[in-house]
Structure 1
Amino acid sequence: MDKWLNHPTALKIISIILGLLLWAVVHIDPDTSPQTVTSNIDTKTIEASVITADGLDEDKYVLSAMEPTVVRLDVQGRLTDLMRASSDDDYIVKVDLKDAKPGIQELPLTVSLPKGIQLVQMSPRTVTVQLEEILTKPFELQVVAEGKPADGFIAGTPTIIEPTGAVEVTLPKDDMSRIGVVSAEINVEGADKTVVIKKAKVVVYDSEGIEMTNAVVSPETVQVEVKVTPPFKTVPLQVRYTGSLPDDLSLVYVKPAVEQVTVYGDQKTLNELQIYDGVVLDLSNVKKSGSLQVKTQLVNGIKGVDPAEVTLEVVVAPIVTRTLSGLSVAIEGAASGLSAVIRSPADGNFDLTVSGAETVLSKLKKDDIHIIANVEGLEPGVHVVPLQVDVPPYVQTVLANGQTLTVSIELVDNASVEAEQEESEEVGGTPSKEPEGALPDPGGENSGSSNAANGSNSNS
C-alpha cells in the first residue's frame, strides 16, 4: 500500500478527487437536492445616479430648477456584466424636456443601462422641473478704468477698439429687468503710456452691483484701451506762414480741416496756452489751389499734439492792387500832460496801397485797416514816428522801393500851452477908456494906418 501511495500517478489522481469534492461542497445548496447548484446572477445598487436634462430648446428656455437631481437605481445581471459596468457613469438617467413648457411640471424619468443589466427598481421615477423663458437684448457696454496712473500722467476715457456696437445679453425673462450695467474693466495702475487689453472680460451686474453669473453675453471679451498721457488741453488752431507765394499769386483763404487741437504738456504750460500756432505753411510750396498735409510742430514747451498732422485747404488767385484814400491815423502812448498833433501829412490822413486776391480786396473797407502811431516815451517837440499798419488776413501793404510809412507828430506840453494862453489874455486886454487927445481922423490920410494900428493892438 505504501508503495502504491508513493507512486506519482496515484498522487495526481487523489489530488483531482479532492478538488472535485471541494468544488461540490462550495456549490451544493444544502436546502435543495444534492444535484442543484447556485446561480451566478447578482444585484447592484447605485445610490446617486445623476439626472441629465435632454431635448431642452436652449434658444427659448432655461432649466432654472430640478428636484431631485439624483435617483437610486437597483439593477441586476451576471457578475461579469456588473463588474464590467463598474462606473456610475454607465447608468444614464434622463428627463425629456423636448415638449416641456415654461413653468413648474412633473415629468417621467428614463434610464439607459449597460448591456446585460436589467433595472430592478428606480426611486423616484419622476422629477419636478422648472423652465423659464429666456430673452436676448442688446446693452451698451461701459468700460471702467481701475487704478491711478503714474505721477504726472492722466488717464483718458476708456474706448472699445473691437468689436464695436452693443453687447447681447441672454437671461431668463424675470432676471432681465434686474440688469444694472454691462461693463469691462481695464487697469491703469502706475501706467505711463497707453494701456491696451486685448481680451477684457464682459461682466453683467445687477442693480445692486452683484455679478449675474447666469448671464450669457456675446461677445464674451472685447479689446479696449485707455490713453495715459501728460495733462492735456484743447485750444484753437492758428496757422502761421513762412516763405512767399509766387509774385503773381495771393491767398484767398487757408482753412484747416480741424479748428482745434489737443496739446499735451505740464499743467503750468497748459494754463498759459491760449492758442496753438505750431502748424506752419511754407508758402513757397504753394503753386496752385489744393490740399496740403502739414505736420504739427512742438512749440512753447508742448510735449505732444493730436492730431500730429493737419490738412490745409489752400485757395490762391491772381494778385491785384487797390488804393484806399483818407485813412485816419490813431496816436497811442502819449504821456500824461502831453497832446499829440499830426503835422504831416497836413490833414492827418493817409493813402495806402494794398495787394491781394480780387475777391478779398473787393470786400475790404477802410475800417478794416488800422494805422497806429506810437509816441510812447517821446518828449515834447516834433518827431517822425513810424507807423504800424494792421491789415486783414491775406492782404499786404504795397510800398515803393525804400519807402517807409512815417508821420510827423508834434507833442505839446499842455501846461505850457495853458500858461501862454493866460499871458496872451493879460497882454491883449482892451483899455477901459480912450487916451486923452486921441481923436479919430475921419477919412484923412492917416485913416488906414490908424485902423491898422488898432487892429494890430487888438490881435496882440
Structure 2
Amino acid sequence: MDKWLSHPTSLKIISVIVGLLLWAVVHIDPDTSPQAVTSNVDTKTIEASVIKADGLDTDKYVMTAMEPSVVRLDVQGRLTNLLNASSDDDYVVKVDLKDAKPGIQELPLVATLPKGIQLVEMSPRTVTVQIEEILTKPFELQVTTEGKPAAGYVVGASTVVAPSAGVQITLPKDDMSRVGVVTTEVNVEGADKTIVNKKAKVVVYDTDGIEMTNAIISPETVHVEVKITPPFKTLPLQVRYTGSLPEGLSLVSVKPAIDEVTVYGEQKALDELQVYDGVVLDLSKVKQSGAVQVKTEAIDGIKSIDPAEVTLEVVVAPIITRTFTGLPIAVEGASSGTSAVFRNPADGKYDLTVSGAESVLNALKAEAITIIANVEGLKPGLHVVTLQVDVPAYVQTVLGSGETLTVSIEIVEEEAAGTDDENAEEVGGTPTEEPPTSTPTPTPTPTAPDTGEESANGGENAAGGPTMNP
C-alpha cells in the first residue's frame, strides 16, 4: 500500500478526487439536492387561526354570525422560514363577502401564507355566515341625571346643546325594532349651579333595558346642559292691571303669549302659590291695539321667574254703552226664621247700564250678568243693601248721575209674613212698612277668578272712577 501511495500516478488521482469533492461542496445547490431538502423541511400546526371577513358592503349589510370563527392550519416549509413566521398573525385566513346576500350561507375559506411556506391541510375549508341588512334612523335623545345636587337645590330641565341635528343609530334590521331608549347620563352629585356644556356618552338600550353594544351611534358623544336651581314650580299666568285706558277706549282682549311661568324660591313659599299674578299691565300706556312687553315681577317670596318678560297681545276698541232692563236680583245670606222682601224696586228687578267694546257688548247675554243682594247679618227691619254686580271680562258697570247700586229690602220674621201687603214682591216673607232711605255703603270690588287673565275698565263711570271686573 505504501508503495502504491507513493507512486506519482496515484498521488495525481487522489488529488483530482479531493478537488472534485471540494468543488461539489462549494457549488452544489442544496435546494436541488434531494438529501438537502430532506434535511431542511419541517411542518407546523396553527390550532386557531382567526377567520377575517373581507369585501362586505358595510353601508348596506352587517355580518351578525360566523361559524366557526377560527380554523386549524397544517403548513410546511424550510425551518428558517417557519421560524421567521413565528406569529399566528402571519397566517391569514379570509372569507370573501363581496357577493354575499342577506341570509345564512356557506362560503369557502382562502389562506394567505408567508413566503416559502405551503399549506398542507386547513380544517374546515368552509365557513357559515349570516348577513343582515342594516338600517340608520334618527332617535330623540333623552338626558338622565345621576346623583343628588347640593342641599337646597333641585335638578331642572336638561337639554342637548350640541349637536342640534340629533342622534343617528345604525343597527341590523331585526335589532332596530328592539330599540327602547337612546340616552346620555350626567352626574349632578353635589352640584350647586347649572352644569353647562357637559360632554356625555350616548348609550342605546333595548326594550328590556339592556345596552345594545352592537349599535353604531353618530355622534358617540354630545354636549348637554342641566339646570341646577332652587326649588321651582310651574304656575298658571294671570294678568293684573293698573291705571286706566285713555278716554273712549275699552279692552276687547288681553292674551299672553304663554299660559304658564316657572317660579323659583323656597319650597314653603312655593307650596302656598296656586297662580302667578306678577304680570301687571299699565293701561295708561296702552294707546292702541298691539303687542306689549311686560316684565315678570318677583312676588310672595319668589326669587326669580322664567321667563323674565311676557308678551301680551292687547286689543282695544272704542267704548260704547248698553242697558239691560229687568235683570233679576238674587238675595243671599238671609238668616234662619227670617225672610227678605224687596221694597224698592218692588219687583226685585234692576236696570243696569254697562260699557265696553262694541264686539264685546254685542255678544253679551243678560244671563252672563249676576246681581246679588247680600243680607247676611241684617236684623229685622228695612235696609238699604248695596248690590254686588258681576259682569264678564272687559265689561264695566256705568252709573248715571246720582244713581247708586242699592236696593231697599225689609227683613221680616216669618211669623209676621202672612200679615204684610199682598202686593209686595217678597223673597221668603212679607214686609210691614217702608222706613226712610238710608245712605248706601260703597260697592265692594269683586275678586277676580283664577282664569289666567283679568279685565279692566277702559273709561270712567258716573261714580267717578274705573270699575275693575274679572
TM-score band w.r.t. shorter chain: 0.5 to 0.7
Partner of 1:187: 187
In 1, distance between residues paired with 2:132 and 2:19?
64
Aligned length: 382
Q: 1:296: Cα distance to partner?
A: 2.9
The C-alpha deviation readout for 1:130-172, integer Å capped at 9, x for no partner, is: 433233233745636243534555546755554455632224x
Work out the CA distance in 2 between the residues paired with 1:31 and 1:201.
80
For residues 9-51 of structure 1, give each alpha carbon's deviation from its aligned partner in whole angstroms, at most 9, with x where no partner exists: xxxxxxxxxxxxxxxxxxxxx9993453498999999986877
Percent sequence identity over matched residues?
Answer: 54
The residue that corresponds to 1:107 in the other structure is 109
Q: Which amino acid aligns with 2:310?
A: V
- Equivalent position of 2:280 in the other structure: 280
Residues 46-92 of structure 1, C-alpha deviations (whole Å, 9 max, x = no match): 98687765434333243744643686776669x9x999x89969957
In structure 2, the CA distance between the partners of 1:381 and 1:53, relative to structure 1 (3 Å rule), is closer
| Cα distance in 1 between the residues matched to 2:392 and 2:212 | 64
* Letter matched to residue 295 of structure 1: K
Q: Give the equivalent residue in structure 2 for 1:169.
A: 170
Q: Deviations over 1:357-380 (max 9, x none)?
A: 112222333333333333444444
Question: 1:398 and 1:175, CA in 2 relative to 1: closer, same or farther beyond 3 A?
Answer: closer
Contact kept in structure 2, 1:62 and 1:133, CA below 8 Å: yes
Match of 1:136 among 128, 134, 144: 134
The answer to whether the 8 A contact 1:167-1:217 is kept is yes
**Is the partner of 1:294 in helix, strand or coil?**
strand
Aligned to 2:374: 374
In the TM superposition, residue 246 of structure 1 has moved relative to its aligned partner by: 0.8
Q: CA deviation at 1:318?
A: 0.8
CA deviations over 1:152-205 (Å, ceiling 9, x no partner): 55546755554455632224x676666555443333444455556644323334
Query: Which whole-Å deviations, capped at 9, do the CAs of 1:81-112 have from their partners, x for residues lacking one?
Result: 999x899699574636254535333322224x
Cα distance in 1 for partners of 2:58, 2:418 equals: 108
Alignment of 1:239-388 (within 5 A): 239-264=239-264, 269-345=269-345, 347-388=347-388
CA distance in 1, matches of 2:304, 2:71: 64
- In 2, Cα distance between the equivalents of 1:58 and 1:312? 55
SS at match of 1:361: helix
- Taking the aligned partners of 2:167 and 2:248, their CA distance within structure 1 comes to 57
- Check 1:134–1:294 CA distance in 2 against 1; reply closer, same or farther (3 A cut): farther
Amino acid at match of 2:284: S
CA RMSD of aligned residues (A): 4.5
Amino acid corresponding to residue 148 of structure 2 in structure 1: P
- Label 1:360 to 1:139 Cα distance change in 2 as closer, same or farther (>3 A): closer
The equivalent position to 1:33 in structure 2, one of 18, 21, 42, is: 21
Per-residue deviation, residues 366-412 of structure 1 (Å, max 9, x unmatched): 33333333344444444444333222211122235776433344444
Call closer, same or farther: CA 1:107–1:82 in 2, change over 3 Å: closer
Q: Is the contact between residue 186 and residue 197 of structure 1 (CA under 8 Å) also seen in structure 2?
A: no
1:15 aligns with none
Alpha carbons of structure 1 residues 44 and 247: separation in structure 2 relative to 1, 3 Å: farther
1:154-233 mapped onto 2 (5 Å cutoff): 154-155=154-155, 160=160, 162-164=163-165, 167-171=168-172, 181-191=181-191, 194-195=194-195, 198-206=198-206, 209-228=209-228, 233=233
Q: Which residue number in structure 1 is paired with residue 455 of structure 2? A: none
Secondary structure class of the residue paired with 2:359: helix
Over 3 Å counting, the alpha-carbon distance change for 1:103 and 1:153 in structure 2 is farther
- 1:244: Cα distance to partner? 1.2
Amino acid at match of 1:121: Q
Superposed CA offset, 1:286-308 (max 9, x none): 11112223333333344554544
Matched, 1:121 2:123: no
Q: Alpha carbons of 1:99 and 1:257: their partners in 2 closer, same or farther (altered >3 Å)?
A: closer
Contact 2:180–2:207 (CA under 8 A) maintained in structure 1: yes
**Inter-CA distance 140–384: structure 2 relative to 1 (3 Å threshold):** same
Tell me: higher relative CO, structure 1 or 2? Use CA pairs within 8 A at least 6 residues apart: 2
CA contact (8 A) 1:50 1:70 kept: no
For the 8 Å contact 1:149–1:228, the answer to whether it is kept is no
Q: How many Å apart are 1:228 and its aligned residue?
A: 5.0
1:380-399 aligned within 5 A:
380-399=380-399
Which region of structure 1 is more displaced relative to structure 2, 153-162 or 297-306?
153-162
Q: Structure 1 length normalisation: TM-score?
A: 0.65
Q: Distance in 2 between matches of 1:263 and 1:302?
A: 7
CA distance in structure 2 between the partners assigned to 1:349 and 1:63 by the alignment: 86
Three-state SS of the structure 2 residue aligned to 1:284 is helix
* Alignment correspondent of 1:62: 63
Q: CA deviation at 1:250?
A: 0.7
Residue 170 of structure 1 contacts residue 215 of structure 1 at CA under 8 Å; is this kept in 2?
yes
Task: Indicate if the aligned counterparts of 2:169 and 2:215 stay in contact, CA closer than 8 A.
Answer: no
State the alpha-carbon separation in 1 of the partners of residues 309 and 316 from structure 2.
Answer: 22
Partners of 1:134 and 1:170 within 8 A in 2: no
Q: Structure 2: any 5+ residue segments left out of the alignment?
A: 1-17, 32-39, 421-470
The TM-score normalised by the length of structure 2 is: 0.64
Does the 8 A contact of 2:243 with 2:284 survive in 1?
Answer: yes
Partners of 2:64 and 2:166 in 1: CA distance: 30
Q: Which of 195-204 and 47-56 deviates more?
A: 47-56
